[in-house]
Structure formats: structure tokens, C-alpha cells
């Protein structure tokens, strides 16, 4: 199945095209996602000899991570899918980090002394949420592998037995995209997986004394 894969949730982003295997990929340097993702999509499509009309599915890593990055990837993915009438599959960044074997605890930096935490068993999700450091000891007590790809997390949890791996790329999401498409069918939709409210939602002042139209 001809797939376009987009990952703009981390410090560095990437896009790829695949048909069973990854055929072409491009890296997006930090802080260039908004202006760089569409040229990168054109680049990898051209490298594979495709146009957007050849695509059968778009997979987007939909968070958690940078709010702007999540929105950028999903906006591009949804735009292509709506124009071409093809499905969009969202893939959790934590699931991508966890892999598919055994009990895995995946961790990402959420800022403010918090972590994005996902628990996975043999590739299946047992839940994702926002946690504080003091909650982690109990969550990790059952054992299993603890995975992280960010230097800040590795430094904060030094001595906790965290396994360091590189940030997964867009191409690494191919298996999860195909599995998601198979499990959910052609109507699958990728929504943002923020795991926390935006600052606008957190600090918004309630509207008092106004009647909704």
C-alpha cells in the first residue's frame, strides 16, 4: 500500500513514502516544520516517482509532543486525505517509541517537571497519560523496559535504568499505520494526541455574565 508518513512532533521531524518498505525519506531540521513539511513531501514523492494521486493512505504521528508540530503534521495529512479521498491514520509517538515486544514503559518530556507516559504490552497500548516524576516509581514497579529518546528525560531519570534510543522517524511508523488501517477500516481518522490541555485552555478566564447566542 502506497503510504505517505509524517512525523513533526519531536525536535527533529521527518517525512517518508513507503510501499511495503520505505522508498524515500527526508529530515526536517528543528523549527522548520511549518514551512518545510510540504516541500519535503514533494521531495519524497518525486524521489519515488509518485504524485499525491498515487497515495493510498497517509500516516501521521499525532503526538504527544510540540503542539505546533502536532497541528502541522495533522493539517498537512488531513488536507491531502480530504483532497484525494484516502484514509488518514494517526500513530501515537509513545507507541512508536515503545516498539512491539514485552512490557514497555515509554517516556517523553512534557515540560514543567512532567512526563508523557505510555504503557504497552507486546505492541498493544494499556494507556497513555501525563504524569509527575513522583508517580513514575509506582508505575514502573512491575518491571519491563523503560524507553526514552530525549536527553532531558535521560538526564532527569539517570540511574532509573532507562534505555536510550534514537527518536523514531516517520518511516518507522509504517507498521503501526498499516495495523491501524487494518483494525479500524477506511474510516479511521487521526486526531491530535496532546495528553494535556493547551496553555490557552489552562489559563482561559471564564466568561461571566454573558449569554451564549
For 197-209, the pLDDT digits (tens) are 654 444 445 544 4
Among 27-31, 129-133, 174-178, 185-189, name the one with the lowest average pLDDT.
Answer: 185-189
Equal CATH topology for 2-93+168-196 and 95-164 = yes
- The helix or strand, by DSSP H or E, that contains position 68, with its residue range, turns out to be helix 67-84
Whole-angstrom distance, CA of residue 200 vs CA of residue 133: 24
Whole-angstrom distance, CA of residue 74 vs CA of residue 121: 27
Class of domain 95-164: alpha beta
Whole-angstrom distance, CA of residue 66 vs CA of residue 61: 11
The C-alpha cell at 148 is 526514552
Q: Where are the domains of the chain?
A: 2-93+168-196, 95-164
Beta bridge partners of 22: 18
Q: Crossing angle, helix 67-84 and helix 33-48, to 10 degrees?
A: 40
Neighbours of 9 (CB within 10 A): 29
Q: Which long-range contacts (CB under 8 A, 24 or more apart) does 128-131 make?
A: 128/64, 128/92, 128/94, 128/193, 128/195, 129/195, 130/195, 130/196
CATH number for 2-93+168-196 (one of 2.130.10.10, 3.90.45.10, 3.20.20.210, 3.30.420.40): it is 3.30.420.40
Beta bridge partners of 13: 28
The string of pLDDT tens digits covering residues 100-111 is 789 999 999 999
Q: Do the beta carbons of residue 176 and residue 5 sit within 8 Å?
A: no
The string of pLDDT tens digits covering residues 38-69 is 999 999 999 999 999 999 999 999 999 999 99
Amino acid at each position: 500500500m502506497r503510504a505517505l508518513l509524517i512525523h513533526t512532533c519531536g525536535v527533529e521531524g521527518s517525512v517518508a513514502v513507503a510501499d511495503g518498505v520505505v522508498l524515500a525519506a527526508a529530515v526536517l531540521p528543528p523549527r522548520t516544520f511549518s514551512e518545510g513539511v510540504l516541500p519535503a513531501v514533494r521531495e519524497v514523492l518525486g524521489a519515488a516517482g509518485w504524485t499525491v494521486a498515487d497515495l493510498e493512505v497517509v500516516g501521521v504521528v499525532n503526538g504527544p509532543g510540540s503542539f505546533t508540530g502536532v497541528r502541522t503534521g495533522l493539517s498537512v495529512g488531513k488536507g491531502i486525505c480530504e483532497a484525494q479521498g484516502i484514509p488518514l491514520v494517526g500513530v501515537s509517538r509513545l507507541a512508536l517509541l515503545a516498539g512491539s515486544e514485552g512490557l514497555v514503559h515509554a517516556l517523553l518530556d512534557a515540560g514543567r517537571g512532567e512526563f508523557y507516559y505510555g504503557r504497552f504490552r507486546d505492541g498493544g497500548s494499556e494507556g497513555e497519560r501525563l504524569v509527575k516524576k513522583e508517580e513514575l516509581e509506582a508505575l514502573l514497579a512491575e518491571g519491563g523496559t523503560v524507553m526514552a529518546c530525549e536527553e532531558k528525560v535521560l538526564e532527569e531519570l539517570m540511574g532509573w535504568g532507562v534505555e536510550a534510543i534514537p527518536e523514531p522517524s516517520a518511516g518507522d511508523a509504517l507498521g503501526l499505520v498499516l495495523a491501524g488501517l487494518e483494525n479500524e477500516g477506511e474510516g479511521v481518522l487521526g486526531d491530535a494526541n496532546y495528553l494535556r490541555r493547551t496553555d490557552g485552555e489552562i489559563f482561559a478566564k471564564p466568561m461571566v455574565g454573558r449569554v451564549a447566542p
